[in-house]
């Protein structure tokens, strides 16, 4: 996930159906993959996709035609299916979740501020994907930010200071902000969630081996061992630094596109700036990496 020159030059590999082209879309993360049908992947192709995902962190596959079963098969290539408690499920297809629209006025699971999926668990999600069934004529983009670029952009003195510090990641932070506790079912679901997790502020990414800044505004609540005011000052700085525009990639959705991202390498957030229909299917793969291990 180091710096990638975003030029018109296309990387390519051959497969039986023809060449697959990979075009970088951002300076640090993000690439478009054309010529690959995600409904028909063999082991060799999955290995190559893994390599490109480690290189670019976020992959966009336009012009796909996938059923829910295709999505489940895609996820199974990368690991065990994750079942999300707070997103509606697609009937008859456990593991496929339905994202329909985004509230502009109330915080929901679809318009969270910057976050890493399930960083509040001992093992955050490994990989997630969205498949765009319908998109609005304008708006509704998704932003991603590179956590390795964010770490690299810190001063040497700040890097030294952060080494060895850990932070608390707590799912309850979302419940408090969103008003989710107003629902008895949601309160019961949150009560079954694991206790807060502690993760180092600086971690080694399991695939790339690069150091990453592992914080996010949705779930990271405090730095262990610091006074509350000190903790808040450090976290506010890191939240702003990690999502600076130069570390970001903005994904503009098209109908039939699939976005696959490395959840341990990036933060992301959806932008609720649109009217009309935005309908997506979501799948995700459970993680085995424990940050800092």
Mention every residue, 6+ apart, whose C-beta is less than 8 A from residue 88: 97, 98, 100
Q: For residue 209, what are its two tokens?
A: 């081996």
Mention every residue, 6+ apart, whose C-beta is less than 8 A from residue 185: none
Mention every residue, 6+ apart, whose C-beta is less than 8 A from residue 261: 53, 57, 58, 59, 127, 128, 129, 144, 268
φ/ψ of 47, rounded to 5, equals -60, -40
DSSP annotation string for 94-159? TT-EEEE---SSS--TTS-SSB-TTTTSSS--SEEEEEEEE--SS---EEEEEHHHHHHTS-HHHH
d(Cα 49, Cα 36) in Å, to the nearest integer?
10
Q: For residue 21, what are its two tokens?
A: 């082209």
Largest Cα–Cα separation, the chain: 60
**Cα→Cα distances 13→21, 25, 43, 249, 253, Å:** 7, 18, 14, 24, 25
Residues tagged active-site? 115, 117, 268, 282
φ/ψ of 11, rounded to 5, equals -75, 150
Q: Tell the residue number behind the tokens 């800092």, with chain if given.
A: 292
Cα end-to-end distance, the chain, whole Å: 19
User: Among candidates 236, 240, 243, 234, which has minimal Cα distance to 267?
Assistant: 243
């Amino acid at each position: 996930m180091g710096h990638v020159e975003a030029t018109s030059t296309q990387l390519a590999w051959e497969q039986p159906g023809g060449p697959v082209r990979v075009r970088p879309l951002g300076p640090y993360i993000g690439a478009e993959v054309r010529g690959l049908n995600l409904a028909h992947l063999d082991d060799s192709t999955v290995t190559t996709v893994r390599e490109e995902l480690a290189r670019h962190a976020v992959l966009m596959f336009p012009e796909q035609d996938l059923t829910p079963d295709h999505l489940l098969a895609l996820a199974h290539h990368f690991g065990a299916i994750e079942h999300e408690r707070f997103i509606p499920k697609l009937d008859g297809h456990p593991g496929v979740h339905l994202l329909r629209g985004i509230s502009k006025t109330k915080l929901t699971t679809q318009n969270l501020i910057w976050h890493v999926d399930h960083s509040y668990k001992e093992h955050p999600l490994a990989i997630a994907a969205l498949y765009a069934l319908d998109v609005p004529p304008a708006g509704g983009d998704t932003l991603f930010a590179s956590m390795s670029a964010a770490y690299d952009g810190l001063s040497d003195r700040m890097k030294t200071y952060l080494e060895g510090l850990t932070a608390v990641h707590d799912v309850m932070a979302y419940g408090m902000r969103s008003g989710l506790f107003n629902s008895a079912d949601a309160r019961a679901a949150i009560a079954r969630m694991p206790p807060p997790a502690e993760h180092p502020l600086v971690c080694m990414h399991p695939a790339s081996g690069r150091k990453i800044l592992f914080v996010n505004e949705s779930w990271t609540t405090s730095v262990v061992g610091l006074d509350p005011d000190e903790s808040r000052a450090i976290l506010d700085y890191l939240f702003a630094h990690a999502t600076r525009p130069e570390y970001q990639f903005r994904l503009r959705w098209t109908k039939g596109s699939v976005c696959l991202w490395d959840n341990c390498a990036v933060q992301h957030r959806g932008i609720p700036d649109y009217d009309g229909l935005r309908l997506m299917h979501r799948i995700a793969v459970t993680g085995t990496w424990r940050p800092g291990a």
